[in-house]
Structure 1
Amino acid sequence: MEELKIKMEKTIERLKNDFSKIRTGRAHTGLLDHLSVDYYGTITPLSQMANVTLGDNVTINVQPYDKTQTSAIEKVIRDSDLGLNPAVNGDLIRVPMPPLTEERRKDLIKVVKSEGENAKISIRNIRRDGNDELKKQLKEKLISEDDEKRDQAKIQTLTDEFIKSIDNLITSKEKDLLEI
Structure 2
Amino acid sequence: MEEEIKFILDSTKEAMHDALLHLEKKFVNIRAGKATPSMVAGVMVDYYGSPTPLGQVANVSTPDGMTITIQPWEKNLIPDIEKGIHLANIGFNPMNNGESIIINVPPLTEERRRDLAKQAKHEAEESKIGVRNDRKNANSELKDLDISEDLQKNVEIDIQKMTDEHINKIDAILTKKEKEIMTV
Please state how far the C-alpha of 1:33 moved relative to its aligned partner: 1.5
Q: Which residue of 2 aligns with 1:152?
A: 156
Q: Which residue of 1 aligns with 2:77?
A: 69
The reply on whether 1:172 has 2:176 as its aligned counterpart is yes
Residue 39 of structure 1, CA deviation:
1.4
CA distance in 1 between partners of 2:25 and 2:150 (Å): 39
Q: TM-score, normalised by structure 1?
A: 0.92
The equivalent of 2:46 in structure 1 is 38
Partners of 1:163 and 1:71 in 2: CA distance: 46
Q: Which of residues 99, 115, 133 is equivalent to 2:141?
A: 133
Determine the C-alpha separation between the residues in 2 that align with 1:81 and 1:23.
15
Aligned positions of 1:39-54 closer than 5 A: 39-54=47-62
Give the equivalent residue in structure 2 for 1:117: 125
| Distance across 1 between alignment mates of 2:62 and 2:72 | 14
Which amino acid in the other structure matches residue 122 of structure 2? S
Secondary structure of the 1:84 match is coil
TM, length-normalised to structure 2: 0.90
CA distance in 1, matches of 2:41, 2:113: 22
What displacement does 1:78 show?
3.0
CA contact (8 A) 2:59 2:72 kept: yes
Q: Distance in 1 between matches of 2:130 and 2:12?
A: 11
Match of 2:165 among 153, 161, 176: 161
Shift of 1:27: 0.8
Structure 2 unaligned segments of length 5 or more: list them: 1-8
CA contact (8 A) 2:44 2:88 kept: no
Aligned positions, number: 176
Secondary structure in 1 aligned to 2:89?
coil
Q: Partners of 1:8 and 1:132 in 2: how far apart?
A: 16
Q: d(CA) in 1 for partners of 2:61 and 2:34?
A: 13
1:81 to 1:167, Cα distance in 2 relative to 1, 3 A:
farther
**Mapped partners of 2:172, 2:89: distance in 1:** 27
1:63 is paired with a residue whose SS is strand
Partner of 1:96: 104
5+ long unaligned stretches in structure 1: none
Amino acid at match of 1:52: V
Q: CA deviation at 1:35?
A: 1.8
